[in-house]
Amino acid sequence: MKGLGGVALVFMLLNLTITCYGVGLQTGFYLGKCKGGNVEAIIRGVVRERFAKDPTIAAALLRLQFHDCFVTGCDASLLLNGPTSEKTAGPNLSVRGYDLIDAAKADLEIACPGVVSCSDIIAVATRDAVFLSKGMNYRVQTGRRDGFFSSKDNVDLPSPSITVRDSVKAFGLKGINKNEMVLLLGAHTVGITHCALIRNRLYNFRNTGKRDPTMDANLFKLWSKSCPKSDTGIGNAIALDQTINSTNIVDNGYFKQVKVQRGVLEIDQGLGIDRLTVDIVRTYADGPLSKTFQADFGAAMIKLGGVGVLTKPNGEIRKSCGFVNPKGPTKPAGLPNLLF
Ligand X SMILES: *[C@@H]1O[C@H](CO)[C@@H](O)[C@H](O)[C@H]1NC(C)=O
Q: Which residues make up the interface to ligand X (CB under 6 A)?
A: 87-90, 92, 244-245
From ligand X, ligand HEM, none, interface partner of 43 (C-beta below 5 to 8 A by class): none
Let me know how long the chain is: 340
CA 301 to chain centre: 8
The nearest distance, CB 310 to ligand HEM, in angstroms, is: 20
Q: Which is nearer to ligand HEM, 182 or 324 (CB)?
A: 182
Helix, strand and coil percent figures for the chain, each rounded to 5: 50, 5, 45
Angstrom distance (rounded) from CA 233 to CA 237: 12
Angstrom distance (rounded) from CA 323 to CA 79: 8
Q: Which is nearer to ligand HEM, 100 or 317 (CB)?
A: 100
The nearest distance, CB 67 to ligand HEM, in angstroms, is: 8
From ligand X, ligand HEM, none, interface partner of 200 (C-beta below 5 to 8 A by class): none
The nearest distance, CB 124 to ligand HEM, in angstroms, is: 15
- For residue 4, which amino acid is it? L
Angle at 301 between CA 69 and CA 244, to 5 degrees: 110
CB neighbourhood size of 267 (10 A): 20
Q: Which residues make up the interface to ligand HEM (CB under 6 A)?
A: 56, 59-60, 62-63, 66, 93-94, 96, 158-160, 162, 167, 184-185, 187-188, 190-194, 197, 240, 265, 267
The nearest distance, CB 157 to ligand HEM, in angstroms, is: 7
Catalytic one of 67, 105, 259, 262: 67
Q: Which is nearer to ligand X, 5 or 90 (CB)?
A: 90
Start-end of H helices in 71-208? 98-111, 118-132, 164-172, 178-185, 199-203
Q: For this structure, is 194 an active site residue?
A: no
Q: Which is nearer to ligand X, 244 or 333 (CB)?
A: 244
From ligand HEM, ligand X, none, interface partner of 112 (C-beta below 5 to 8 A by class): none
From ligand X, ligand HEM, none, interface partner of 162 (C-beta below 5 to 8 A by class): ligand HEM
From ligand HEM, ligand X, none, interface partner of 184 (C-beta below 5 to 8 A by class): ligand HEM
Start-end of H helices in the chain? 3-19, 39-53, 57-70, 98-111, 118-132, 164-172, 178-185, 199-203, 217-226, 253-259, 266-271, 278-285, 293-304
Residues with catalytic roles = 67
